[in-house]
Amino acid sequence: MTDFADMVQGYRRFRDKGWTEQRERWSQLSQGQDPKVMVIACSDSRVDPMQIFDVAPGEIFTVRNVANLVPPFETNKGFHGVSAAVEFAVTQLEVPEVVVMGHASCGGCAAALSGGFAGREKGNGGFISDWVGLLDAARDKVKAEFGEGAEAKRELEHEAVRVSLANLRTFPFVAEREAAGKLKLRGAYFAIADGVLHVMDDDGVFAPA
């Protein structure tokens, strides 16, 4: 697919085949959703959670943004899109699991590591710079240990998952449910080149699933 016209053709194939074959499922979904997992993933076109996890419609509640980041809990007025999605998934849908999935070759993490958008005006990289600024402390730690090469990029991609999980725990309704055993937070990392999913253990270490 290269443009919207191609996408419309894809929709027509879906409508004739996929939607028809799962007509009962779509009928159920028209009455509401009951996903068991929230996935927080990157906006990158190569890492679609539904494709990677091979799930049917309605099985995961997904929010995607640059570098799969979750900001810390804040109460100031503003447009808190990720926080609203987390709040809806956890308090309204009551999902029992939240997965933060990072990936290899992440442009957002590369921008955080290089600082290439620092100081730019909004509309010319400024929004990107502000957003990936959530990784400033992690970037400094990674650069001090790994420099700025390929190993550093991969480590910062892992750190982005850890930072988002740590920030999730600053949300009172997340922390309370996790402490009560009602919510499990998980980390994952998808390596695009070899198609391997890595899962993070309780010590923050990633290993192939």
Same domain assignment for residues 54 and 26: no
Name the band, by pLDDT with cuts 50, 70 and 90, for residue 1: low
Indicate the number of domains in the chain: 2
Same domain assignment for residues 28 and 130: no
Q: What percent of the chain has pLDDT over 70?
A: 100
Same domain assignment for residues 48 and 148: yes
Q: Which domain holds residue 19?
A: 1-32
Same domain assignment for residues 89 and 63: yes
Same domain assignment for residues 101 and 41: yes
User: What CATH number did the domain enclosing 45 receive?
Assistant: 3.40.1050.10
Return d(Cα 54, Cα 190) in angstroms, integer: 14
Return d(Cα 139, Cα 122) in angstroms, integer: 22
Provide the whole-model pTM: 0.95
Same domain assignment for residues 62 and 16: no
pLDDT digit string, tens, across residues 111-121? 999 999 999 99
Q: What DSSP letter does each residue of the chain carry, written as one string?
A: --SHHHHHHHHHHIIIIIHHHTHHHHHHHTT----SEEEEEE--TT--HHHHTT--TTSEEEEEEGGG--PPP--SSS--HHHHHHHIIIIIS--SEEEEEEETT-HHHHHHHHTTTTTPPTTTTHHHHHHHGGGHHHHHHHHHHHTTSHHHHHHHHHHHHHHHHHHHTTSHHHHHHHHTTS-EEEEEEEETTTTEEEEE-TTS-EEE-
Q: State yes or no: pLDDT of 109 exceeds 70.
A: yes
Same domain assignment for residues 54 and 3: no
Return d(Cα 129, Cα 135) in angstroms, integer: 10
pLDDT digit string, tens, across residues 67-81? 999 999 999 999 999
User: Across residues 98-117, what is the average pLDDT?
Assistant: 97
Name the band, by pLDDT with cuts 50, 70 and 90, for residue 193: very high
Same domain assignment for residues 51 and 124: yes
Name the band, by pLDDT with cuts 50, 70 and 90, for residue 18: confident
Same domain assignment for residues 3 and 65: no
Same domain assignment for residues 129 and 194: yes
Same domain assignment for residues 28 and 120: no
Same domain assignment for residues 123 and 20: no
